[in-house]
């Protein structure tokens, strides 16, 4: 019964978070649909600009402030109200500090792309998007602090409703600004960026208002907007020490997949096209698992604070089972009839698509096996994040990703002529090795005499 009860607690947090992540990702998808009506260079420039701005914001800023969820859950569990407030306020301070380099990169995106010899027409459109989206960076970071804090103290219903409403508003405002409807000028890529900024500020304003209203009715109201403390170097250092390894890990994994896509292109154009379609199908799975990862990080942080070392391993097993439950429908369709999945993207009955279909069916089966392993790997990373252990997991992930996933994939694909199969087999083994090492790390740090399990002071 304890396992079932714990599974319900994790699902209660994971499902709303997963839905929020999915909706947030769909906002960018809407822009892509509207931008599809423009020239090829405008589409390419928009895609490149959006990718760079998002990745820069995520790696430099959002990964670090994501520790707000862990700190909020930890001190909420031991009812240290002031510690929660101080850590959340320092999360806001980190937003201002870390958004600055992202803003600088965004404002100078055109010069950076020209330096890398990107086509002038494409770099111009990427810069147009960046000039519109630059105003979204700070409010998005601040909103994420509130989102993660609310999730940690089990009060995120407002965030779910705000995100749902924002997705509708985003579709409307993007339609108007990108395509120039209802008398507005046709802004294209700049309109896509500007709509992102408008929605980001709207979401932040709505969340501040709703959080303040709900706080008045809550029995454990947190005064995160009043009684501001002077920024403390020790807490800034704490955020950076815990968060920078998460940022580096995100960067390393992103670069790994970019390199693997470049390797796939060298294997063949059909293989690259099939791989891109496969990633489009499995992307929602990653969003669902992200929700479970944050849920396990929150639950582990709570039990860590209470000194319940014996529960951490069980929580990790339960979260892994929940992630498999989320994964099952996607994997079942793949193994039952992968051609059915392919028909979502192209005409499988067209003889000219036979080669693409063959590659798609092959890659998606390998991708399904990869996701099964990666789901458990991600849950282990979440559990270790909840224990505030981020440095060693980063080293494990980096080593396995590049030595096995990239170097091993290149060797199998080109030296042994295994093609795209070799790339995916190496990727699966890199995930598997990382999983085993992360599991050993979790067993090591959850021993009763582990230093990581000692209660830290409120303001360490």
Residue 356: per-residue pLDDT: 83
* pLDDT tens figures, 139-163: 999 998 998 898 888 666 677 788 8
Confidence of residue 114 (pLDDT cuts 50, 70, 90): confident
| Distance from C-alpha of 156 to C-alpha of 158, rounded to nearest angstrom | 5
Q: What is the mean pLDDT of residues 382-408?
A: 92
Q: Does residue 167 surpass a pLDDT of 80? A: yes
Q: Does residue 99 surpass a pLDDT of 70? A: yes
Q: What is the mean pLDDT of residues 7-36?
A: 79
Q: Does residue 299 surpass a pLDDT of 80? A: yes
* pLDDT tens figures, 62-89: 778 889 999 999 999 898 999 999 999 9
| Distance from C-alpha of 437 to C-alpha of 389, rounded to nearest angstrom | 14
pTM for this entry: 0.87
| Distance from C-alpha of 60 to C-alpha of 113, rounded to nearest angstrom | 19
* Burial label, 251 (beta-carbon count in 10 A; 0-12, 13-18, 19+): middle
| Distance from C-alpha of 144 to C-alpha of 235, rounded to nearest angstrom | 18
- Three-state SS for 316? helix
Q: Tell me the H-state helices in 134-188.
A: 137-152, 157-179
| Distance from C-alpha of 94 to C-alpha of 62, rounded to nearest angstrom | 10
* pLDDT tens figures, 240-296: 999 889 888 888 887 787 788 778 878 887 787 788 778 777 777 777 888 889 999
Q: What would the two tokens of residue 216 be?
A: 């008045």
Q: Can you say whether the dihedral through the CA atoms of 297, 243, 96, 75 is positive or negative?
A: positive
| Distance from C-alpha of 41 to C-alpha of 38, rounded to nearest angstrom | 8
């Amino acid at each position: 019964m304890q396992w079932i009860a714990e599974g319900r607690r994790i699902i209660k947090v994971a499902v709303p978070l997963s839905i929020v992540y999915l909706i947030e990702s769909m906002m960018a998808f809407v822009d892509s649909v509207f931008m599809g009506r423009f020239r090829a260079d405008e589409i390419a420039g928009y895609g490149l600009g959006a990718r760079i701005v998002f990745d820069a914001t995520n790696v430099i800023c959002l990964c670090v402030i994501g520790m707000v969820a862990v700190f909020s859950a930890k001190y909420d569990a031991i009812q240290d109200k002031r510690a929660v407030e101080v850590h959340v306020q320092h999360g806001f301070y980190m937003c201002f500090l870390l958004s600055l380099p992202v803003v600088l990169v965004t404002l100078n995106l055109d010069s950076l792309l020209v330096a890398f010899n990107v086509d002038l027409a494409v770099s111009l459109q990427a810069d147009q998007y960046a000039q519109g989206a630059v105003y979204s960076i700070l409010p998005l970071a601040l909103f994420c602090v509130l989102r993660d804090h609310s999730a940690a103290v089990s009060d995120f219903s407002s965030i779910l409703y705000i995100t749902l409403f924002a997705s509708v508003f985003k579709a409307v405002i993007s339609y108007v600004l990108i395509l120039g409807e209802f008398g507005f000028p046709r802004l294209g890529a700049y309109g896509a960026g500007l709509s992102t900024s408008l929605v980001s500020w709207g979401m932040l304003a709505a969340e501040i208002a709703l959080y303040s209203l709900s706080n008045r009715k809550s029995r454990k109201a947190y005064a995160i907007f009043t009684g501001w403390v002077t920024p403390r170097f020790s807490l800034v250092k704490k955020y950076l020490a815990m968060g920078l390894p998460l940022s580096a890990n995100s960067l390393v994994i992103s670069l790994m997949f970019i390199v693997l896509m470049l390797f796939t292109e060298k294997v063949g154009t059909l293989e690259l096209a099939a791989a891109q379609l496969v990633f489009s199908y499995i992307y929602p799975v990653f969003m669902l698992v992200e929700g479970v990862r944050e849920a396990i990080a929150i639950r582990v942080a709570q039990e860590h604070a209470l000194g319940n070392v014996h529960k951490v391993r069980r929580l990790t097993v339960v979260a892994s089972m929940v992630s498999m439950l989320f994964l099952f429908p996607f994997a079942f369709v793949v193994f039952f009839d992968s051609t059915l999945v392919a028909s979502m993207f192209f005409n499988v009955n067209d003889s000219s698509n036979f080669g693409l279909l063959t590659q798609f069916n092959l890659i998606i089966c390998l991708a399904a096996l990869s996701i099964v392993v990666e789901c458990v790997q991600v849950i282990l990373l979440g559990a270790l994040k909840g224990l505030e252990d981020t440095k060693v997991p980063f080293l494990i992930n980096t080593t396995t990703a590049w030595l096995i996933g990239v170097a091993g994939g290149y060797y199998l694909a080109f030296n042994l002529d295994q093609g795209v199969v070799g790339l995916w087999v190496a990727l699966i083994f890199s995930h598997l090795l990382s999983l085993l090492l992360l599991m050993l790390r979790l067993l090591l740090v959850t021993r009763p005499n582990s230093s990581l399990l000692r209660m830290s002071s409120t303001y360490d």
